[in-house]
Amino acid sequence: MRYFSLIALALVVAFACSCNDNPTEDNQPQLQIGTLPPLLNQVPTAHTFRHQFSLVNADSANTYVWQVWAVDQLPSGVFGIDQHGSFEFTPEEADSGLTYGFRVRVLLDHKEQDVQEFSVEATGTEPFVLRLLQSGQPLSPGSRVDVSVVKVSGEIDFGSVQLMFTYDPAVLTPISASLGIAPLECGWEYFTYRIFENGEHCDSQCEAMIVLAAVSDVNNGSSHPECALLQDGSELFRVTFDTSNDSTLECTSTPLQFIWIDCSSNAVHGSRDHFETLTVGSAVMTSEWDGSYPLDQYRIQRFDCDSTYDASLSGWCERYRSNCYATEIVDRIIFWNADVQFMGD
């Protein structure tokens, strides 16, 4: 009897030891790919879609290998993923209108740990991007600076345009404003600007703003401008500011932000043949945006009804649409905010 008891005890001990040979192996949390993109994404042709994946439950002592391949069909454009899980895809013109599936996986010691799939559609429509841009490098407090409104990409038939953006009057003092070189060379026929401070015309939601307006063709005679379309990279407007000489501004920045107050804010009417078309905003991007896609990371989320965000909230949405008399309203413009950068000694 004692003999069988010893055998039973030995079996129990052996079983217990076998379960604890690798006590942490079965308890290790499973490695997973994190920070997933939406299942379907979009990027204009000739632009780059970027997404940074992460690893959940990763061990810093391990070396992981990322891989990606196209599912079903191979795009003409270049795609790939680096050792840090950063995926990029730049579709070419031949990819326009097509949707490509991609499968991303991560390996450890040549063994697949996790795999994820997503799709990217290459859209043929070039986004129309207007950007506020400081000319030159960061400047010293007390310097003079030019800020341009630049047409980055896309094509719009300019009939008239009105843009407005806010600034901090304690830091920036507007000196002058003018049409940019491109519309001047085209012979645009009308330009004006106005400066508002102390919250005037922006519901006290901003300290100061400047309004820039231009008409390419006043249509009051036989003379007409040579062009209503502008090349990518064209300067639409230029505003010159003096900056405060406050030394505490060194190594800081001050924001310039597009602001909406009514239907005509930051909108483009078509030229004579397309005057009933009003093109308005579809997104507002922070100054940190690098021009890549998707827009979500740097998109200002409180861009309400394509009319307003932060500086003028609630109530404008309905009024914005109801006061528009255009036959067609197109949500297309991406507005790109800026910072004026100051350097240190």
Residue at token pair 């004692």: 2
Question: What Rg value do the Cα atoms of the chain yield, rounded?
Answer: 28
Instruction: To the nearest 10°, report the CA torsion of 195, 201, 205, 206.
Output: 0
Q: How far is CA 195 from the centre of its chain?
A: 27
pLDDT score of 315: 38
Please provide the CATH number assigned to the domain covering 128-341. Answer: 2.60.40.680
pLDDT score of 316: 41
Q: How far, CA to CA in Å, does 106 sit from each of 66, 84, 96, 112, 216?
A: 5, 11, 29, 6, 55
From first to last of its 345 residues, the chain has per-residue pLDDT tens of 444 443 333 333 333 344 444 444 456 689 999 999 889 888 988 889 999 999 999 999 999 999 999 999 999 999 999 999 999 999 998 999 899 999 999 999 999 999 999 999 998 777 889 999 998 888 999 999 999 999 999 888 888 899 999 999 999 999 999 999 999 999 899 999 999 988 777 666 678 999 999 998 887 666 777 777 888 999 999 999 999 999 999 999 999 998 887 767 888 888 766 566 778 777 888 999 998 888 878 887 654 444 333 333 333 444 455 555 555 667 778 899 999 999 977
Residue type, 167: Y
pLDDT score of 299: 81
Question: What does pTM read for this prediction?
Answer: 0.72
Residues 6+ apart with CB under 8 A from 342: 138, 139, 140, 141, 243, 249, 250, 251, 252, 253, 254
Domain boundaries, the chain: 32-123, 128-341
Assess whether the region 32-123 and the region 128-341 belong to the same CATH fold: yes
Given a contact cutoff of 8 angstroms between Cβ atoms, the answer to whether 163 and 148 are in contact is no
pLDDT score of 265: 81
pLDDT score of 4: 40
Per-residue burial over 158-186, b = 16 or more CB atoms within 10 Å of its CB, e = otherwise:
bbbbbbbbbbebebbebeebbbbebbeeb
Class of domain 32-123: mainly beta
Work out whether strand 267-269 and strand 277-285 pair parallel, antiparallel, or are unpaired: antiparallel
pLDDT score of 240: 98
Report the alpha-carbon distance of residue 167 to residue 328 in Å, rounded: 32
The angle subtended at Cα 211 by Cα 209 and Cα 212, nearest 5°, is: 145
Report the alpha-carbon distance of residue 166 to residue 161 in Å, rounded: 17
Report the alpha-carbon distance of residue 337 to residue 267 in Å, rounded: 16
Q: How far, CA to CA in Å, does 198 sit from each of 8, 51, 117?
A: 89, 42, 52
pLDDT score of 301: 60
- HSE value, Cβ hemisphere, 13 Å, CA-based, for 90: 6
